């Protein structure tokens, strides 16, 4: 690189770059936004690359951590450049109510009966079932933790903890650790006293928590020895194990599972292609490849049947993993999410 500022060179480079970029963005290409890292890598293998092969249209990948601000701004400006988005359930419902996401026409995707009933919603179709589990580094701990109560036990399991920076699931785990039964968690959290109780429980381990934001950080923190235990997405730990980090272990007790869904922002000029992509990615054979890459459960019932037997026990939907697990309460988080996230943020910053 020459950095002597001749006025001509940067212009020439810029011009050439602009040309190549323009050439790379043909009409049928779509932008798909997902939760980066290994999840996105698995999507590339299972959905993007086969889709490009089948249709000739390229996929521009983007990643985010679920923030809806950009989508809201784009939809409000009627200038939408994101065509398909992976969203978590509360954001999907809220976005659907606020008119951010298209009401889906399932005739263009596949028969509703093919999917797990809960994966079919007004504005979204489930991509996979994922779960938040307790993960730990077995090299760093003398004994194996077995529950969220152990996560809070600093005496028996000394060391730093990792948790996702946010109220969602953090508050649930705190109540579980405090002895609340999974079926009562959301009833408890709906009251002011219940929320206070959760934060009070979190206060016990607050100085020992390293907060993470991107899903890829959790296995990183564990492997680097920065934390000994963390909440983590099951798929991220499983892929880390596959890459040779055998000392990372999962505890499935009282894990919380949910769907991630495809949604189409209102006003995308490439709605037809977006539908085409979602229909393609929802096919059982593609969902099967995805589950093989990262052990998240398929939403297409036919896809579930195809999944390799060796992978089944790693999926959140496996019977032994479902025992004691509970579903994230979407309606609760739609109603209280903004309020609790702001309170959480205030609490964390203290």
Q: Which residues bind other proteins (CB under 8 A)?
A: 1-5, 7, 10-11, 13-14, 17-18, 20-21, 25, 31, 33, 36-37, 60-63, 67-70, 72-74, 76-79, 81-82, 94, 97-100, 165, 199, 210-211, 213-214, 216-217, 220, 224-226, 334-336, 338-339, 341-343, 345-350
The residue (of 32 and 133) whose beta carbon lies closer to other proteins is: 32
- DSSP state, residue 43: H
Cβ at position 127, least distance to other proteins in Å: 19
Nearer to other proteins, 257 or 344 (CB): 344
> How far apart are CB 32 and other proteins at their closest, in Å?
9
Contacts 24+ apart (CB under 8 A), 101-109: 101/263, 101/264, 101/265, 101/266, 102/263, 102/264, 102/265, 102/266, 102/271, 104/264, 105/275, 108/275, 108/279, 109/275, 109/278, 109/279, 109/282
Give whichever of 101 and 257 is closer to other proteins, judged by the CB atom. Answer: 101
Residue count of the chain: 350
Q: Which of 96, 311, 254 is nearest to 298 (CA)?
A: 311
Helix (H, G, I), strand (E, B) or coil at 64: coil
DSSP state of 118: G
- Least distance (Å) from other proteins to the CB of residue 97? 5
Cα separation of 313 and 308, whole Å? 10
Q: Considering the complex, state which of residue 56 and residue 313 has its C-beta at the smaller distance from other proteins.
A: 56
Closest CB to other proteins among 33 and 294? Answer: 33
Rounded to a whole number of angstroms, the minimum distance from the CB of residue 287 to other proteins is: 24
Smallest gap from residue 290 Cβ to other proteins (A): 20
Nearer to other proteins, 285 or 338 (CB): 338
Minimum CB distance to other proteins, residue 155 (Å): 19
How many helices and strands in the chain, by DSSP H and E?
16, 10
């Amino acid at each position: 690189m020459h950095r002597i500022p001749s006025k001509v060179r940067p212009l020439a480079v810029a011009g050439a770059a602009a040309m190549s970029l323009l050439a790379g963005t043909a009409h049928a290409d779509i932008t798909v936004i997902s939760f980066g890292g290994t999840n996105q890598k698995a999507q590339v293998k299972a959905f993007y690359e086969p889709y490009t092969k089948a249709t000739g249209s390229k996929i521009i990948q983007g990643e985010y951590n679920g923030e809806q601000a950009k989508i809201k701004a784009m939809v409000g400006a009627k200038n939408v450049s994101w065509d398909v988005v992976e969203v978590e359930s509360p954001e999907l419902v809220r976005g659907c109510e606020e008119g951010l996401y298209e009401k889906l026409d399932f005739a263009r995707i596949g028969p509703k009966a093919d999917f797990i009933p809960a994966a079919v919603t007004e504005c979204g179709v489930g991509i996979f079932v994922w779960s938040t589990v307790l993960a730990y580094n077995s090299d760093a701990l003398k004994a194996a933790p077995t529950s969220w109560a152990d996560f809070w036990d600093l005496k028996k399991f000394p060391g730093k903890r990792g948790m996702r920076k946010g109220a969602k699931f953090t508050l649930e785990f705190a109540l579980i650790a405090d002895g609340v039964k999974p079926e009562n968690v959301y009833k408890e959290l709906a009251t002011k006293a219940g929320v206070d109780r959760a934060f009070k429980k979190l206060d016990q381990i607050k100085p020992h928590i390293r907060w993470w934001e991107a899903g890829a950080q959790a296995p990183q923190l564990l492997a680097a020895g920065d934390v000994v235990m963390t909440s983590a997405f099951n798929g991220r730990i499983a892929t880390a194990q596959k890459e040779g980090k055998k000392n990372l272990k999962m505890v499935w007790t009282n894990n919380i599972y949910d769907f991630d869904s495809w949604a189409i922002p209102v006003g995308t000029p490439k709605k037809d292609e977006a539908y085409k992509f979602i229909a393609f990615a929802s096919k059982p054979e593609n969902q099967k490849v995805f589950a093989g890459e990262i052990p998240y459960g398929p939403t297409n019932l036919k896809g579930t049947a195809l999944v390799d037997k060796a992978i089944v026990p790693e999926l959140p939907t496996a019977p032994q993993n479902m025992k004691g697990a509970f579903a994230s309460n979407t309606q609760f988080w739609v109603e209280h999410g903004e309020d609790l996230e702001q309170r959480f943020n205030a609490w964390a910053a203290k």
